[in-house]
């Protein structure tokens, strides 16, 4: 614990999972702030020797901010990021005023810059989620020398500043109507030929999960460790992840993983075997199924994916344009998905 006047911090390592997650009840959060996700990032990025510096800011014994924070080695340099991606920005308790947030942010920034100096980091990256479109998601980092453009590496997520979010509070009839007409045609061609399998906290079968792991390795190779998949299993059975899978002729051909928490969901990843059969569109089928599934389970918002836009530092490829077009076809509206970076090479 570190103290400055009435403010103090308690680090993630000092909590057990239950204690940490109970504190989240007083915050408008996404899955990125849960104890499960903070541990998950450590496992996923173990090759970069990532270290978890996440902390809770406390004001007079009351938790007022949650600050995810990691330091990792990229090449020969240290930086604040997670797998080179931006870290979820700090969030503040629901009853915190704008004036208090600004004061707290000065303290938070001093802690971040202290870690920058301690670890000799060359940069820091953070991300404001479009699922947190409230006062708690204002870009306070701009007051401290951060900029809203990341040029390296040349990734899809860094070329976007907005993301499509489906408002699941709408009637299901409207949600389906808002799906692009051509996609509905593809779904109708597919739905009677395939089976839908959903693994979540209410239903989990090990045999289907093992098939998912096998499909992942077949499509993407050995990019993830079995330890990471074990944490996926914990997430599914704990309600932090839902896995929707498409089976054709008793063979698993596609799957999407959705991160879920606090009535908010985010399309996280997908895998698919291509050229399985004509007029089979498993990802279209699974996207529509995910909207129906989340609506049935009383979720309110569903981030489907980001829209790329050209910038001064990069060009958008045809493949990236096509992916952005695909994300736009599911009835979502665009919300800011802001990434910020500050460089410390000359500090």
Q: Which domain holds residue 203?
A: 170-299
Q: What is the pLDDT of residue 314?
A: 77
Number of domains in the chain: 2
43 within some domain: yes
3-state secondary structure of 248: strand
Closest listed residue to residue 286, CA positions, set 210, 191, 221, 215: 191
Shared-domain flag, residues 98 and 237: no
316 within some domain: no
CB 86 within 8 A of CB 337: no
329 within some domain: no
Shared-domain flag, residues 194 and 127: no
320 within some domain: no
132 within some domain: yes
Question: Which CATH number fits the domain that encloses residue 179?
Answer: 3.40.630.30
Shared-domain flag, residues 212 and 134: no
Q: What is the pLDDT of residue 312?
A: 63
Shared-domain flag, residues 58 and 130: yes
Shared-domain flag, residues 14 and 152: yes
Residues of the chain with pLDDT under 50: 1-3
Shared-domain flag, residues 186 and 141: no
What tokens were used for 288?
Answer: 């529509």
Phi, psi angle pair for 238, to nearest 5°? -100, -5
321 within some domain: no
319 within some domain: no
Angle subtended at Cα 44 by Cα 256 and Cα 25, rounded to the nearest 5 degrees: 75
Shared-domain flag, residues 114 and 257: no
Shared-domain flag, residues 145 and 185: no
Shared-domain flag, residues 149 and 123: yes
47 within some domain: yes
User: Whole-angstrom Cα distance, residue 62 to residue 10?
Assistant: 11
User: Whole-angstrom Cα distance, residue 215 to residue 195?
Assistant: 16
DSSP string of 161-188, one letter each residue: EEEEEEETTS-HHHHHHTS-HHHHHHHH
Angle subtended at Cα 280 by Cα 198 and Cα 216, rounded to the nearest 5 degrees: 50
Q: What is the pLDDT of residue 277?
A: 84
Shared-domain flag, residues 15 and 149: yes
Shared-domain flag, residues 150 and 78: yes
Shared-domain flag, residues 210 and 291: yes
Q: What is the pLDDT of residue 258?
A: 98
């Amino acid at each position: 614990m570190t103290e400055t006047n009435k403010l103090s911090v308690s680090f993630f390592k000092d909590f057990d999972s239950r204690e940490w997650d109970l504190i989240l009840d007083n915050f408008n959060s996404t899955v990125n702030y849960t104890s499960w996700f903070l541990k998950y990032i450590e496992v996923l990025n173990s090759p970069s020797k990532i270290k978890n510096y996440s902390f809770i800011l406390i004001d007079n014994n009351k938790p007022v901010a949650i600050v995810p924070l990691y330091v990792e080695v990229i090449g020969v340099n240290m930086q604040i990021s997670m797998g080179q991606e931006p870290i979820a920005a700090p969030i503040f308790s629901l009853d915190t005023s704008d004036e208090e947030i600004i004061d707290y942010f000065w303290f938070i920034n001093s802690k971040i810059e202290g870690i920058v100096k301690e670890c000799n980091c060359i940069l820091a990256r953070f991300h404001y989620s479009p699922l947190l479109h409230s006062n708690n998601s204002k870009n306070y980092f701009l007051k401290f020398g951060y900029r809203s453009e990341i040029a390296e590496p040349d990734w899809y997520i860094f070329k976007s500043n907005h993301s499509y979010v489906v408002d699941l509070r709408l009637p299901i009839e409207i949600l389906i109507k808002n799906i692009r007409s051509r996609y509905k045609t593809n779904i109708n061609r597919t739905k009677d030929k395939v089976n839908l399998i959903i693994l979540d906290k209410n239903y989990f079968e090990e045999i289907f999960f093992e098939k998912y792991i096998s499909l992942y390795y077949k499509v993407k190779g050995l990019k993830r460790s079995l330890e990471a998949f074990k944490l996926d299993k914990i997430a599914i059975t704990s309600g932090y992840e839902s896995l929707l899978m498409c089976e054709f002729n008793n063979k698993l051909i596609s799957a999407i993983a959705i991160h879920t928490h606090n009535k908010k969901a985010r399309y996280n990843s997908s895998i698919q075997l291509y050229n399985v059969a004509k007029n089979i569109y498993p990802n279209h089928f699974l996207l529509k199924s995910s909207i129906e599934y989340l609506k049935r389970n009383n979720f309110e918002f569903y981030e489907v994916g980001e829209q790329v836009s050209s910038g001064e530092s990069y060009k958008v490829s045809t493949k990236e344009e096509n992916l952005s077009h695909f994300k736009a076809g599911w009835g979502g509206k665009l919300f800011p998905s802001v990434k910020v970076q500050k460089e410390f090479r000359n500090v």
